[in-house]
Amino acid sequence: MGAWSRGRWASSGWRWASVALTGLGLLASAGNAWGRSEAEVAYTREQTFSAALRYLRVDLAYEVIEKDPDAAYLLFSFAAPELQRKVARGSIEVVQRQRTVRLFVNLPELPSYREEVLKRGLLDKLRTEYGEPVSPEEPPEKAPPKKPEGEPKPPPSDAPEGDAPAA
């Protein structure tokens, strides 16, 4: 058996040290990971995009760096006193789903609570400007096909009501 046999590896402190270092590495990198805040809304894509643009420009006085209404995304920058360089960047994306719209807010340089605050503010603006969203309706069940007007109706039965026809 070699110097690093399984039994020796398991009994040594190396295994635990490796696990601990891996865990610490994951925790350290989690602070730098791109987080994003999401919400599903029942407003239209156009309503959500234009409300986001007005919220950033008018309500918050953020600088909108790039916007694309067709792709429904906004890139913006704003003063962030907690950052050394004083300017932070972010994005808002609006994605059409089958019956709803998915909203993504990214502020990669800031703590995740800042994304939540921005998202909640935008949701409040949507409710203020457009009212409560109408819940997405289930698709209506298909009605049986109507018979054409020109088809003759079946002749009425001679049997009195309640009597079953003879077999």
Task: Give the pLDDT confidence of 57-108 residue by residue, as tens digits.
Answer: 999 999 999 999 999 999 999 998 877 778 999 999 999 999 999 999 999 9
Asked whether the CA dihedral 110, 116, 121, 127 is positive or negative, the reply is positive
Q: Say yes or no: domain 42-130 is CATH 3.30.310.80.
A: yes
Per-residue model confidence as pLDDT tens digits over 29-45: 344 445 689 999 999 99
Tell me what pLDDT residue 162 has: 57
Pull the structure tokens for residue 78. Answer: 């704003």
Pull the structure tokens for residue 158. Answer: 């001679």
Tell me what pLDDT residue 133 has: 82
